[in-house]
Amino acid sequence: IAFSRFHSIRVRPNDKDAKMKYQECNKIVKQKAFERAIASDELKRSVVDSLDIENMTIEDDYAGPKLEDGKVTLKFMKDLMAWFKDQKKLHRKCAYQTEEITICGDTHGQYYDLLNIFELNGLPSITNPYLFNGDFVDRGSFSVEVILTLFGFKLLYPEHFHLLRGNHETDNMNQMYGFEGEVKAKYTAQMFQLFSEVFQWLPLAQCINSKVLVMHGGLFSEDGVTLEDIRKIDRNRQPPDSGKTMCVLLQDGRSVSKRGVSCQFGPDVTERFLEQNKLQYIVRSHEVKAEGYEVTHSGKCITVFSAPNYCDQMGNKGAYIHLRGSDLKPEFHQFTAVPHPDVKPMAYANSLMQLGMM
């Protein structure tokens, strides 16, 4: 357009109308260039970063559809379609609000507590996505029910329901802590072999919006590990000896831990890893926490555990995390254990393990 106006001026230099239109067009071109320069200076920040959705007020006289706890429901969609049919406008707060993801930690065969999570937080759906961070099975005696429920939702919502592998999605653990025995008691040995094969294909970690890395265990026994290194891991196998990158993702890394079977890592390790990979913080599981979660390393390392009153004897709370918006600021939600049928934890475990629970 600018070229067309400039050509008109050259052909008709005394045409005031053409000159005025050229000046207007030139202003637009300069304005667009200025906006591009600002965008470049701000490293192309997302528009979402400039929104203060939480402090937006829905006026009392607004009678249109509203989100329920920030979530899109079937009722909301029906109300929205009727509202739009009458040529009315959805409130800007509802239009701006983005979906959240819920991160859950270990569930360890506690099926009735899993049902309670869905009761409290809503069933998985396209608008209510979940990520379960490993250790779905073992110890609790309803592991078959837990894993079939989780696999069912993964098949139903493959892009909105995510499962990461934990150290209890491995043969050695399943043989000792009950899942193999439970599957054989409720189905067949062949069924357990099938579960074993599927577990080997589960992802070892997941990066959310290039800001938060989620893995079951922890960080690594050496510096310099990148997200690309994690992507290259051959995960279709049983984990190797301790200290390897795959093993550490499933357990945790650096100095020997108080559990004697893995390692621990400090805030300096977390800081270096986050800085190298341009991440904000990590979320892990793998450990019982009295409150269901724990925030350490100046907020950069979060542990979440979702099996309340672990093994019917620890008395801990369970928790899950909501991540919402462009900053992915974590919101913690705690819950307590619910009753379950009279089947003891570790009922299907190796007999030596059962003695340890007495």
Q: What is the set of active-site residues?
A: 168
Name the residue with tokens 């030139």: 26
Q: How far is CA 358 from CA 269, 314, 333, 344, in A?
A: 38, 14, 32, 11
CB neighbour list of residue 252: distance below 8 Å, 6 or more residues apart: 217, 218, 219, 262, 263, 264, 265, 284, 286
Q: CA torsion sign, 69 to 73 to 79 to 83? A: positive
Please count the residues of the chain: 358
Strand order in the sheet with 318-324: 161-164, 130-133, 100-104, 318-324, 329-335
Q: Which of 141, 121, 140, 123 is nearest to 308 (CA)?
A: 140
User: What is the spatial distance between Cα 147 and Cα 135, in angstroms, rounded to a whole number?
Assistant: 10
What distance lies between CA 128 and its chain's CA centroid? 11
How is residue 312 annotated by DSSP?
G
User: What is the spatial distance between Cα 36 and Cα 38, in angstroms, rounded to a whole number?
Assistant: 5
DSSP-derived secondary structure for 117-144: HHHHH---BTTB-EEEES--SSSSTTHH
CB atoms under 10 Å from CB of 42, counted, come to 11
